[in-house]
């Protein structure tokens, strides 16, 4: 949905580099969810954040991955020392409140390719 802005749309990184993915939620939304979609697979939950807080990071790999949602600015998903297996589409969704999936929208995703 055009209301949730993700950038960049496409990102190419060499193995070992860092990838930073940005997500600006819809106006009025203070909850952000990050999902990863591997080819031919569904979307897998990674992390759920509110402003300045990580609420649930149970789907996030323990190493190399981190996420933040500062008081000002977009939410950032950061992948350090990328490997080929990190190649995927990363989507964020935003909602006005916790569990507000009926009012949630997804962005168009960032397609990360690790070469």
Partner 1 sequence: QQQVKQSPQSLIVQKGGISIINCAYENTAFDYFPWYQQFPGKGPALLIAIRPDVSEKKEGRFTISFNKSAKQFSLHIMDSQPGDSATYFCAAYTGGGNKLTFGTGTQLKVEL
Residues that bind partner 1 (CB under 8 A): 1, 4, 6, 33, 35, 40-45, 48, 55-56, 58-59, 91, 93, 98-99, 101-102, 104-109
Nearer to partner 1, 49 or 114 (CB): 49
CB of 81 to partner 1, least distance (A): 26
Q: CA–CA separation, 41 vs 24, rounded Å? A: 25
Rounded least distance, CB 95 to partner 1, Å: 10
- Cβ 38 to partner 1 shortest distance, Å: 10
| The pair of three-digit structure tokens given for residue 10, joined into one six-digit string | 């496409």
Closest of 108, 93, 88, 111 to residue 31, by C-alpha: 93
CA dihedral 73, 85, 59, 8 (to 10 degrees): 20
C-alpha–C-alpha distance, residues 48 and 107, integer Å: 15
Dihedral sign (CA 26, 32, 33, 36): positive
* Residue 16: CB minimum distance to partner 1, A: 28
Comparing CB distances to partner 1, the nearer of 84 and 101 is: 101
- In the complex with partner 1, which residue's Cβ is closer, 7 or 17? 7
């Amino acid at each position: 949905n055009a209301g949730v802005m993700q950038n960049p749309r496409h990102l190419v990184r060499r193995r070992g580099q860092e990838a930073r993915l940005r997500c600006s939620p819809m106006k009025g939304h203070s909850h952000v969810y990050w999902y990863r979609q591997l080819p031919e697979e569904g979307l897998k939950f990674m992390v759920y954040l509110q402003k300045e807080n990580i609420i649930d990071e149970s789907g996030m790999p323990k190493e190399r991955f981190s996420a933040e949602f500062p008081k000002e600015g977009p939410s950032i998903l950061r992948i350090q020392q990328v490997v080929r297996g990190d190649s995927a589409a990363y989507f964020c969704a935003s909602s006005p409140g916790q569990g507000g999936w009926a009012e949630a929208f997804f962005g168009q995703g960032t397609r990360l390719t690790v070469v």
